[in-house]
Structure 1
Amino acid sequence: MPDHEIPVLVVGGGGCGLSTSIFLSDLGVEHLLVERRESPSALPRAHYLNQRTMEIFRQHGLAAEVYHGSAPLENMSEVVWRTSLAGDGELDALDLHRMDAFGGGSTAGPYLADSPCPSTNFPQHRLEPLLHRHAVERAPDGVLFGHVMEEFTRDESGVTAVVTESSTGHRFTVRARYLVAADGGRGIGDELGVEMTGEGGALDVVSVHFSADLAEWWPGDSVLMTNFVGMDGGPISRYGMVALGPEWGLKCREWALHFHPAPDSELDLGEEAMLERVRQLLKLPDLDLEIHRVSNYRPEGVVAGTFRVGNVFLAGDAAHRQPPATGLGLNSAIQDGHNLAWKLGAVLDGTADRRLLDTYEAERLPVARRNVSWAMYAFRNHAVAHAGLGLLPGQPLESARATIRALFSDTPMGRTRRARAAEVFATQRVEYQAHDIEIGFAYEEGALVPDGTPPPDRDPMGCGHRPMTRPGHRLPHARLARGGDVSTHDLVGAHGGFVLFTGEQGGSWTAAAERVAEDYGVSLAVVPIGEHDPGEQDEDATGANGHVDVDGTWRETAGLGTGGAVLVRPDNHVAWRATEDGTDSEARLHDAFGRILGRTVTSGAGS
C-alpha cells in the first residue's frame, strides 16, 4: 500500500511547478509537489514576464504582489546597443541604437489597448520565492522541497512514485492519478523515452550575477537591457546586461552580465577571474562589485515529440527549451500549467471525460514549436545587427574599428551607414516588440468548437496583434463598466468556471445556460454586455447582471450580432461562439459543452 494517495503529483518546484501548484489549489485539486532543491532558485535566470503571464497571475491573485517588486514600465521601456558601457577611448560608450520595448515608449498604445496587464521584469530568484510562499499558503502540506522522486512506475490507472527526503533519507511512496513532470527535463521525459528534437547547444553562454552601482554609466533610467557590440566581428552580440533590481532604473544595483566565450577556450569561472572579466568587459577597471553567482549553459531550441505519456504530462522545460531571446521560456512554462490545471480539475471532479486531457498536447505542442522556433530566430538575428554595422566574422580588430569610425563620421557615407544600421537594428523588434507572439497564440484544435472561420493573417514580424473571439483565441480584453471599470478577463475567475458573454439582448442565452449548466454540472456565468450610451448616467444600463462596453472595444473585437454569444473557458480562451441568436440556443450550447468536455449528456437529465 502506498504511504500517500493523491490525485496529482507535481515533480519540480521551479516557476512551472510552483505556478501549477497554485492553479491546482485554486481549482480545489488536491496535489503534492516535490522538489529536489532545498529552496527556490538563487539564480536570476528568466526575468521578463509578458502580458499573458501577468493576466494569468492577475486571475490567480498574484499580479499585485509581482508588480509591487518588479520593474515599472517606465524603467524597462528601452533596449540599447552600445560599443561599451564605459571607457575613455575614441570608440567607447557610444550609442549604436535605441529601441522602445515591452510596451513602453512608442509601443505603449497597442500593449495598453490589448491587455489589462502591462508586461514587467521580475527575475526568477525573486519570483520563485513569491510563488513558493503562495503555493505553501494554498496547500500547506502539499509542497515539499528537499525531496527527490527516485523512481516511478505507471499503469492504466495512475503512477506510483518513490520519494526520498534528502535531509533524513526517509523514503515513502506516493500513488497519484496523474503526474505533472515540471522537472526541467531532468529525467522523467528520458525515463519515458520521449525524444527532444531541434537544434542548438553549440554556443556557450556565461552569466554573472553581481551587484554594483552603475548609475554613472548606465545609458538611461528607462533602459532595461544593454547589448554591447564587440568590434571583433563575432557572429552575435558578444555580451549584454540586464537590470535585476531590487530598485529600478538608475537606482538598480543588481545585474546579470551574459557573454559568449571564444569557442574551445578554457575559461576560469572562479570569483577572482570573474571580477576581472566583468571590469574588463564594462571597461571599468576600478569598479567596486560583488559577485553573487556564476553559471554557464548552452542555449538550445528543442521540443518534446509528445507532451503526454499515459497519465504523465510534460510541462515547461521538460517539454520545450529555447534561448532566452523574447523571454518565452518561463512564460510558456507557466502557460502550460495554466492550460493543464483546469483540465485536470474538470476530469477529477467528473465534469469532463478523460478525453479532455488529450487536448493539452493538441493545444500546447504547436504553441511550443512556434515559440521555440521564434526564440531561435530572434537569438540568431543579433548577427544581423553586426552585419548592419558593417562588422564581419573574422574581421581584423583595426578593420572593425575603422568600420565603427566610418559609421559615426560626418560624411554622406556615414549618414548612409547610420541609416542602414537603423533599418537593420529595427528587425530586432522580433525580440523586443513581439506583442502578437506573446498574446496572439491560438489553439486550432482541442477543447473548443471551431466555427469554420479561417485563422487570421498574423504579422510576420510578430508585433501587430489582432484580438478576436474566434474559438481557440485568447479572450480579447475590453473595458466594461458596472459601478467601475473591469476587464472582460476579470469575469473569468480562478476556480474553474465558464463564462458566456452575450449581447444586450441575450435573454434566451441566460435561460439556456441555466439548463445546460445543470445538465453538465458546471459553473457557468452569463454576462450580457450592452453598448455605452454617453448620455446614460446609470452605468448598469443592461440590468443587474449586465456590463457596458466602455469604449466600443468589445463590439469591435467580439464579432457578434446583438443576439450572439461567446463561451469562454476557465483559462480565458474562447471555446465556442454563436454570432447570432436563434430558437435553438439551448441545443447549440448543450452540444458545445458536450464537445468541449468530451461527454454526452441528455438535455434536462441533470448531472
Structure 2
Amino acid sequence: MFDVDVPVLVVGGGGCGLAASIFLSDVGVRHLLVERRESTSALPRAHYLNQRTMEIFRQHGIADDVYEIGAPLANMSEVVWRTSLAGDGPLDARDLYRIDAFGGRSTAGPYAADSACPSTNLPQHRLEPLLRLHAEDRAPGGVRFNHILDEFTQDENGVTARVTDRSTGETGTVRARYLIAADGGRGIGGALGVPMDGDAGGFTIISVHFSADLSRWWSGDSALMTNFVSPEGGLISAYAMVAAGPSWGLASEEWALHFNLPPGGTVDLSTEAVAARVRELLKLPELSLRIHHVSEYLPEAVVARSFRVGRVFLAGDAAHRQPPATGLGLNTAIQDAHNLAWKLAAVLGGQADDALLDTYEAERLPAAHQNVAWAMSCFLNHGVLHACLGAMPGLPAEARAANFRELLSDTPMGETRRARAREVFGTQRTEYQAHDIEIGFAYPTGAIVPDGSQPPPRDPMGTTYHPVARPGHRLPHAWLTCDDVRVSSHDLVGNQGGFALLTGPLADEWTVAAKAAADAHGVALSVVPIGTDPATAGWRQADGSWSAVSGIGDGGAVLVRPDNHVAWRSPQGSDHAAEELDAVFRRILGHTPAPGERS
C-alpha cells in the first residue's frame, strides 16, 4: 500500500495536467499527478500553440524547448484550400484559396508587435513528452503514469482519493487539500454531477496519422495546413491535412489527415483500408506510406456549468470541449492551469482566503464560453466556403463537378466566381488570424479591482487586438531595456507566484506603499519603475510602446498578477497610496473588506 498526503492532487497527464504540474512546482506547491495511461498521447491531434500559450511557456522556462522542435513561423504561415493534393485531371491539384495565418507573412507585423512570443506548431504526441520531462524534473516522484483514480470523496477540509498503480495492482490513499480534474472529462465532472451545456457531436471525425514523402506535391514550404474540397463529391468530399514534423515545410515526414463522416456513414478503419483511402483522397495511388494511428472522435461544443465543486476544480477538456477550429482547445486548457496555479499557491501559503479560488470559475468559465462559441462558428463557416465553391450538400455529382469547372474556367463568369469566392474565403480569417481572440480576452470580474475605464473595442472578426493595461486584461507586451539587457514587460513578473508593480518614474509613494503591502500580506511584490530618459537608472522603454498602452502618468502604477493579468491600475500618484494598495490586496486575495470599504 502507498499513502500520500499532498496539498494538490492532479488527475490527468495530458497537456493540461502536465502544465498544471509544472506551474504548481514553480509556485512552490507540492502535488501528485496521476495518469491512467502508461505514457503520453501517441496522437498528433492538438498541435497549434498560440502566442498567449507561448508567453506562458516563456514565463515558466519551457518556450525555448518548444521552439527548438516546433514549426518555424516560416513553415506555418499559410493555410491552403485545394481540389486535391495530386492527380492529372483538369480539376486535380488546383489551388482554390490561400490565406496568411498564425502571425506569418502579411500578419507578421501586429503579431510581432504585440508579443515577444511567436505562435508555433508542435503536435500533441511531441509536446506532451516534453511537458512530462519538465514536470518530472520539477516534481521528482510526483508524476505517476499508469496510475488510475478509482474513486474520491471530499469533505470540508480536503479530498480523499483511492489510486491504483496499474503496473503492480497496488492501491493506496491520497489525501489532498484540493483536486484538479484534468482527466479530459473521463469521469470526475460526471461523478460530481456537473452538467455539460452545449451541443454534442452530430458526426464523427476520423484522424489518420501517417508517414510519407509528400515533398513533390505539398502546397508549399510555408503551408502548415491544406483543406481539400473535392469536385467529385462522395462520402468523403472535404478533408484537411496538417504537417506533423519532425521536420517542417516540404521536408515534413509525418502528416495528420482528418475527415468527417456524416451521421450513419461508415468506413473500414483497418490499416490496409485506411492506407488505400489516403492514397485515393490524395490521388497518389502508388504512394509509399506508413500508418501510425487511426482514431475517431465526436466533436462537441460544450462547457461545464461549474468549474468548481467544493475542493475540486475542472480544467481543460473536463471543463470545456470544442471543435478543432482555431486551435483553442489545448491553448484554453493550458491557460486554465496557469490561472489556477498561483491562486492555489496563495491560498495554501496563507496569503489569500479560499474565496480567491472562486475567481477561477468567475474568470475562466466566461473565457471558455467565448472560445467554444468562436470555435464552433469558425467550424461551421467551412460549410459556407464550400457552398460558395458550388459544393453544396446533396448536390448531384455531375452538378458539383460542373460548378468547379466553371469556377476554374478562363471565362468572365469563372473570374467573377473566383472573385466572389475570395471575398467569402477571406471571412475564415476568424480562424487563422484570430489575433484578438488569442490574446485580447479579459476578465471583467474576479481577482481584479476595476478602475472605471471603458474596455477597448473588440473586432467582431477577432483579428485586430487593442493592447491596454486595464484591470482584467493580459498585461500588454512592451520591450524594456536596462543597460545592455532587453526584456518584455511580461518578464518582469517571474514564475514563482509573485506580483509586480510597474510604476512611472516619479512614483516614490507607490514604492513605499508596495513594501508595506508586501509585508502586511506576506506576498512577493517587486517594484519596477519604467522611465523614458536614457540617463535614468533602471528600466526604460525601448520604443515608447509602454507609455502608449499603460494608461498611467509619471506617478501612476499598474499591479500585475502572477499570471501576467493586470489586477489594478492607478493613473497617477496618491496621497493615500499605502491605504489604497492595502485595500487592493485585501480585495484581490479574497479577504473580507475592512469596515466602511466598498467591496
TM class, shorter-length: over 0.9
Contact preservation (8 Å) 1:529, 1:542: no
Q: How far apart, CA to CA, are the structure 1 residues paired with 2:593 and 2:399?
A: 75
Counterpart code for 1:519: A
RMSD, matched Cα? 1.5
Q: How far apart, CA to CA, are the structure 1 residues paired with 2:571 and 2:105?
A: 37
Structure 2 partner of 1:589: 581
Cα deviation per residue 1:47-67 (whole Å; 9 max; x = unaligned)? 000000000000000000000
Q: How far apart, CA to CA, are the structure 2 residues paired with 1:561 and 1:369?
A: 36
The equivalent position to 2:540 in structure 1, one of 548, 553, 575, is: 548
Structure 1 partner of 2:390: 390
Change beyond 3 A, Cα 1:580–1:233: farther
Partner SS for 1:260: strand
Partner SS for 1:481: strand
1:302 Cα deviation from its structure 2 partner: 0.1
Contact preservation (8 Å) 2:587, 2:593: no
Change beyond 3 A, Cα 1:131–1:602: same
Contact preservation (8 Å) 2:236, 2:261: no
Counterpart code for 2:206: V
Partner SS for 2:415: helix
What pairs up with 1:371-390 in 2 under 5 angstroms?
A: 371-390=371-390
Q: How far apart, CA to CA, are the structure 2 residues paired with 1:368 and 1:548?
A: 36
What pairs up with 1:509-588 in 2 under 5 angstroms?
A: 509-531=510-532, 533=533, 536=534, 541-543=535-537, 546-588=538-580
Q: How far apart, CA to CA, are the structure 2 residues paired with 1:410 and 1:366?
A: 49
Identity of aligned residues (%): 67
1:507 Cα deviation from its structure 2 partner: 1.5
Partner SS for 2:574: coil
Further displaced range: 53-62 or 1-10: 1-10
1:466 Cα deviation from its structure 2 partner: 0.4
Q: How far apart, CA to CA, are the structure 2 residues paired with 1:559 and 1:227?
A: 43
Counterpart code for 1:501: L
Counterpart code for 1:570: P
Q: Tell me, which stretches of 5 or more residues in structure 1 are unaligned?
A: none
What pairs up with 1:171-190 in 2 under 5 angstroms?
A: 171-190=171-190
Counterpart code for 2:498: G
1:457 Cα deviation from its structure 2 partner: 2.0
Q: How far apart, CA to CA, are the structure 2 residues paired with 1:305 and 1:330?
A: 19
Counterpart code for 1:549: Q
Partner SS for 2:458: coil
1:454 Cα deviation from its structure 2 partner: 2.5
Contact preservation (8 Å) 1:528, 1:542: no
Further displaced range: 552-561 or 65-74: 552-561
- Residue 315 in structure 1 maps to residue 318 in structure 2: no
Contact preservation (8 Å) 1:237, 1:382: no
1:542 Cα deviation from its structure 2 partner: 3.0
Partner SS for 2:197: strand
Partner SS for 2:17: helix
What pairs up with 1:278-427 in 2 under 5 angstroms?
A: 278-427=278-427
1:601 Cα deviation from its structure 2 partner: 9.2
Structure 2 partner of 1:23: 23
Contact preservation (8 Å) 1:76, 1:121: yes
Partner SS for 1:586: helix
1:434 Cα deviation from its structure 2 partner: 0.3
Partner SS for 2:261: coil
Q: How far apart, CA to CA, are the structure 2 residues paired with 1:238 and 1:437?
A: 26
Structure 1 partner of 2:490: 489
Structure 2 partner of 1:138: 138
- Residue 206 in structure 1 maps to residue 206 in structure 2: yes
What pairs up with 1:18-97 in 2 under 5 angstroms?
A: 18-97=18-97
Q: How far apart, CA to CA, are the structure 2 residues paired with 1:28 and 1:262?
A: 48
1:511 Cα deviation from its structure 2 partner: 1.1
Structure 2 partner of 1:170: 170
Change beyond 3 A, Cα 1:235–1:484: farther
1:402 Cα deviation from its structure 2 partner: 1.2
Contact preservation (8 Å) 2:3, 2:172: yes
Contact preservation (8 Å) 1:520, 1:601: no
Structure 2 partner of 1:119: 119
Q: How far apart, CA to CA, are the structure 1 residues paired with 2:322 and 2:6?
A: 32
Q: How far apart, CA to CA, are the structure 2 residues paired with 1:234 and 1:66?
A: 39
Structure 1 partner of 2:250: 250
1:456 Cα deviation from its structure 2 partner: 2.4
Structure 2 partner of 1:598: 590
Structure 2 partner of 1:195: 195
Q: How far apart, CA to CA, are the structure 2 residues paired with 1:261 and 1:310?
A: 40
Q: How far apart, CA to CA, are the structure 1 residues paired with 2:224 and 2:2?
A: 50
Contact preservation (8 Å) 1:303, 1:320: yes
Q: How far apart, CA to CA, are the structure 1 residues paired with 2:392 and 2:362?
A: 43
Partner SS for 1:23: helix
Partner SS for 1:37: coil
Partner SS for 2:582: helix
Structure 2 partner of 1:500: 501
Structure 1 partner of 2:153: 153
1:300 Cα deviation from its structure 2 partner: 0.7
Contact preservation (8 Å) 2:91, 2:231: no
Q: Tell me, which stretches of 5 or more residues in structure 2 are unaligned?
A: none
Contact preservation (8 Å) 1:236, 1:382: no
Contact preservation (8 Å) 1:235, 1:383: no
Counterpart code for 1:569: R
Counterpart code for 1:492: V
Counterpart code for 2:506: Q
1:484 Cα deviation from its structure 2 partner: 2.2
TM-score (structure 2 length as normaliser): 0.97
Cα deviation per residue 1:338-380 (whole Å; 9 max; x = unaligned)? 0000000000000111110000000000000000000000001
Change beyond 3 A, Cα 1:384–1:435: same
Q: How far apart, CA to CA, are the structure 1 residues paired with 2:385 and 2:235?
A: 10
Partner SS for 2:98: strand
Q: How far apart, CA to CA, are the structure 2 residues paired with 1:236 and 1:381?
A: 18
1:390 Cα deviation from its structure 2 partner: 2.6
Contact preservation (8 Å) 2:275, 2:289: yes
1:231 Cα deviation from its structure 2 partner: 2.5
Change beyond 3 A, Cα 1:37–1:2: closer
Q: How far apart, CA to CA, are the structure 1 residues paired with 2:500 and 2:438?
A: 23
What pairs up with 1:262-273 in 2 under 5 angstroms?
A: 262-273=262-273
Contact preservation (8 Å) 1:233, 1:393: no
Counterpart code for 2:493: V
Cα deviation per residue 1:437-458 (whole Å; 9 max; x = unaligned)? 0111100000000111232220
Contact preservation (8 Å) 2:20, 2:341: yes
Structure 1 partner of 2:469: 469
Counterpart code for 2:512: A
Partner SS for 1:185: coil
Q: How far apart, CA to CA, are the structure 2 residues paired with 1:580 and 1:235?
A: 64
Structure 2 partner of 1:445: 445
Cα deviation per residue 1:469-527 (whole Å; 9 max; x = unaligned)? 11000000000011221100011100000000001112121111111111111110011
Q: How far apart, CA to CA, are the structure 2 residues paired with 1:487 and 1:303?
A: 34
1:401 Cα deviation from its structure 2 partner: 1.3
Counterpart code for 2:582: H
Counterpart code for 1:586: A
